[in-house]
Chain A
């Protein structure tokens, strides 16, 4: 299980480097702090979805959603357009009838979960939703772990600079 998780992280890192360059080429420099933050977050989300090389609803929904944010960047738009079309076709196969008890607590929280998992609102089948959620959580954790590691670079190199002064 652990080595699979490391593979997920490695895949995410590879994709993130690509998406960062992709966005870097398509934005107007210099960026202010907020613009940079949005670019970092966007590239990270696209990378997370791209790292999931499979047919999950969440990864395609995330790419589709990210497409709206890169509306003015032609390169990104082209790359994301393909993924969005794939998502449209997939929607039709997902509307299976799921039978789960409509207890108010479970129903309400299931709706909440659907709003948190990208593309969750498209999933009618409860079991399918749970599978997507488990998958999504693994990749979300990998994203957080990698970003945290990169942010920690600061505390490592910060010491180096102080010694040189």
Chain B
């Protein structure tokens, strides 16, 4: 699974799963029930929000790029080829 991801990943600043878990953890710290417990490490709200925004924007871009790719894939396949059969059974 990770092989496919690294093959397909183009940007160097890809957020890894570990970073994601960390980010989610920090976001959760803003929820009231967790805020009650004093966390030893200081969380910069501004930074976490910025990272979150960057991450969402990155995911939006990926969806856009993937939509492009899928559209081109369908354009370039020969109507009678096996790809067409597989892809059109999944899409259109």
A interface, CB within 8 angstroms of B: 17, 20, 24, 33-34, 36-41, 44-45, 103, 105-106, 109-110, 112-113, 116-117, 126-127, 130-131, 133-134, 136-137, 140-141, 143-144, 147-154, 157-158, 160-161
Contacts and interface: CB of A to CB of B under 8 A. Distances in A.
Interface in B39-86: 45-46, 49-50, 52-53, 55-57, 59-60, 62-64, 66-75, 81-83, 86
Given A105-B46, A109-B53, A157 B71 contact: no
Nearest to B23: A137
Nearest to A27: B92
A44 B67 contact: yes
B87 A153 contact: yes
Contacts of B60: 116, 140
B9 to A, nearest CB: 10
A131 B67 contact: no
B49 A151 contact: no
B91 A152 contact: no
Contacts of B87: 150, 153-154, 157
Interface of B: 4-5, 8, 24, 27-28, 30-32, 45-46, 49-50, 52-53, 55-57, 59-60, 62-64, 66-75, 81-83, 86-87, 90-92
A39 B70 CA distance: 11
A110 B49 CA distance: 7
A126 B24 CA distance: 16
Given A24-B92, A127-B30, A147-B70, 8 more contacts: A37-B70, A40-B91, A105-B46, A106-B46, A109-B50, A134-B27, A149-B4, A157-B83
Nearest to A157: B83
B31 A130 contact: yes
Contact of B70 (A34, A109, A151): A151
B45 A144 contact: no
A165 to B, nearest CB: 11
Contact of B30 (A126, A151, A154, A160): A126
